[in-house]
Every structure is written in structure tokens, then in C-alpha cells.
Amino acid sequence: MKLAKTAQTAYLVGKNVFLGGNLAALSLVARPRELVRYVGENLLLYRSLASRRGIPQKNVYEVLAPTGGVEEIVLGNLSGDGAWFSPVSSFAVDIVSLCLICRLLKPSKIFEIGTLTGYTAFHFALNTSADARIFSLDLPKDTVMAPRLKTDYADDNGIRRHAAAQSYCFTGSPVASKIHLLSGDSANFDFSPFHGEIDFFFIDGAHSYDYVRSDTMRALECCHPGSVIAWHDFDRVVVDGVARWVREFARDHEIFSVPGGSLAFTVLK
């Protein structure tokens, strides 16, 4: 199984280096991780500029606030561990878009799959009302749990990063009490207490097709008409399971991708 994952990842990386590389990329050959990031961002930007993402592109405010206006957002932990402000600008687009969803939707209950350092949970808390509650689900840190569904190489790396994360960036902040940490595998977690209760559901856990599909089905049970579901890492070439599922799901649902970013989202009818 491990060999198959490695081979599949090598194929994806090789294909996308070929598609997204250029002469400038040769300077990164000695730094393969940075080379992969570079060509990945190249392809994401190309697909965004060429409108070749498989789903329509719209900014969050075009969908949730089509009449315009000004919304303030609050950003935190800008230079801390796991901050989304880096040389890869698409992550900044993503976190700003997530903050805007919170400001425009005004959710009272948010559920996210994938906590890691708590960076998105922190921003959800910063950009919602004082009585809003954020529920964040991740694998337990104190035990080894084999994923119930198929994962890919990037997921396995993410599990190792999760186990190594010793603290959360929201710890000690005035909004920390709004965040409720949950533990378990999203494939068999009991979501029944949240059925029909969630206004905004953010999917950023395992990125394999099987997990993204499963997490979306759970999100649909937890949400209601008017709720927003958002997926992170859409159209990132090494985690192609997200894009495969979102494009498939878009056959029956209106889904938008944020221009220049890797966020896809839908408003449930």
C-alpha cells in the first residue's frame, strides 16, 4: 500500500512538473519540495486565469453579498507557526475568503474537519459574534489511529504533522472559549448531534477522494438550506482527490471556486 501511494505521488509530481515547469524552475531542482510548490502554484494560477477549473469562479462577496458594501475582517497570528501568509499567495486568498464567509454569513454554529494548529478555527472565532460556536474535529493526538478510509501520501504526511503539533494558535486568546475541539476519524465520527444545526461547514481534513466525498456527505446531514459548505485545497495538483470530488459534486450542485485561491464553496438550496 505504501509503495502504491509513493508511486502514485511520484506520477502526479512528475506529470505536473512537466506541465507547470519552465526555465526559471530549473533553479529549484536542488530543492524538490520548493519545485513542487512552485509548479503547483503555476498550474493553479494558470487554471484560474484561463478559467479552466471545471467550476465557475466567483469571489465570496459576489455570491453572499452581491449588492456590494464594505466588510471588516480580523486577522491573527500573522507570523506565527502555520500562518497562511507566505510566499505562496493563494493561501492568503483562502484565509481572507474564509473570514469573509464568516462576516457575510454570520453563522452561529461552524463545524470544521481538520484542526491541525487551529489556524482556521481561530479565524472563524475572530470573525463571528460573541455567542458563535466553532466545532473542530481532528484525529486524537494521544493515540495512533489508522484511517478508516483510503488516504494518499499527502494525507499521511498531514497525519504526522498533526501528531507533531504541540499547541494551538488560539490558546490564551479572548476568543478561545468559542472553539470546541473534537476528536475522532471523520469517517465514523457521530455527527448526529449536529444534524441540521450547522450554518458553515469547512472541509480540510484528509484530501483523498474517499475522505472528501465522505466528509461532504456528513456536511450535508449537518447543514440546512442557506448553509455554506467550503472545501480547501481545491485544484492543488498533488492533492487531486479534492478537485475530483468537487467537480463530480458540481454536476448536481452550484459550486464556485475563488479566483487565485484554492477554496471552493457552495450555498445549499
Cell matching residue 76:
491573527
Q: How far apart are CA 186 and CA 127, in angstroms?
A: 25
Cell numbers 503547483 correspond to 40
Backbone CA torsion sign across 184, 108, 245, 33: negative
Is residue 238 scored above 80 in pLDDT? no
Each residue's pLDDT tens digit, 122-135: 999 999 999 999 99
Taking residues 92-96, what's their average pLDDT?
Answer: 97
pLDDT tens digits, one per residue of 140-171: 887 677 888 988 777 877 777 767 677 899 99
Cell of 249: 459534486
Q: Are 6 and 151 in contact (CB under 8 A)?
A: no
Cell output for 23? 526555465
pLDDT at 18: 58
Domain extent for 73: 2-267
Range in 15-24, 51-60, 139-148, 164-173 with the lowest mean pLDDT? 15-24
In this prediction, residues 59-79 reach a mean pLDDT of 91
Neighbours of 30 (CB within 10 A): 8
Q: What pLDDT is recorded for position 42? A: 84
Burial (0-12, 13-18, 19+ Cβ within 10 Å), 119: buried
Indicate whether 10 pLDDT > 60. Answer: no
Bridge-based pairing state of the strands 264-267 and 198-203? unpaired
CATH number, domain of 167, equals 3.40.50.150
What pLDDT score does 218 carry?
98
In the chain, the number of structural domains is: 1
Alpha helices in 165-228 (DSSP H): 209-222
pLDDT exceeds 60 at position 21: no
The helix/strand/coil state of 225 is strand
Residue 204: the pLDDT is: 97
Report pLDDT digits (tens) over 202-233.
Answer: 999 999 999 999 999 999 999 999 999 999 99
pLDDT at residue 35 above 80?
no
What is the predicted pLDDT for the residue at 158?
73
Q: Which has the closest alpha carbon to 71: 97, 89, 50?
A: 97
| pLDDT value of residue 81 | 72
